[in-house]
């Protein structure tokens, strides 16, 4: 299981993360705004209030939203491999 050690939410609905293995990057979560469970994020200040639950080592919000750190980790790695790379080589 991956553990989130740092996070920072930005107004463009990106969440920057660092994990316990040193891997870091960002994920875009704006696509979740239409899902009922995430509607609190329509107030961008709510989204920017992301913190880490130290016991679960995952990202949480005051609205009761918490995200699985393993899914965040996989999404972050997928974003890295899909990022624009002018050399045509996969970025890791």
pTM listed for this prediction: 0.83
What is the C-alpha to C-alpha distance for residues 11 and 78, in angstroms, rounded to an integer? 22
Residue 78 · residue 90 · CB < 8 Å: no
Residue 69 corresponds to which tokens in the numbers above?
């750190």
What is the C-alpha to C-alpha distance for residues 89 and 92, in angstroms, rounded to an integer? 10
Please report which helix (H) or strand (E) contains residue 69, including its range.
Answer: helix 69-82
pLDDT tens, position by position, 6-53? 999 999 999 999 999 999 999 999 999 999 999 999 999 999 999 999
Please report the domains of the chain, with CATH numbers, ordered by start residue. 4-82 (3.30.2020.10)
Strands (E), the chain: 4-9, 14-19, 24-28, 51-53, 58-60
């Amino acid at each position: 299981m991956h553990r989130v050690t740092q996070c920072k939410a930005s107004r463009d609905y990106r969440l920057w993360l660092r994990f316990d293995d040193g891997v870091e990057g960002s994920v875009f979560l704006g696509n979740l705004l239409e899902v009922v469970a995430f509607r609190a994020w329509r107030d961008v200040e709510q989204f920017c209030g992301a913190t880490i639950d130290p016991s679960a080592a995952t990202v949480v919000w005051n609205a009761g939203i918490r995200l699985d750190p393993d899914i965040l980790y996989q999404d972050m790695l997928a974003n890295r491999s899909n990022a624009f790379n002018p050399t045509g080589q996969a970025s890791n």
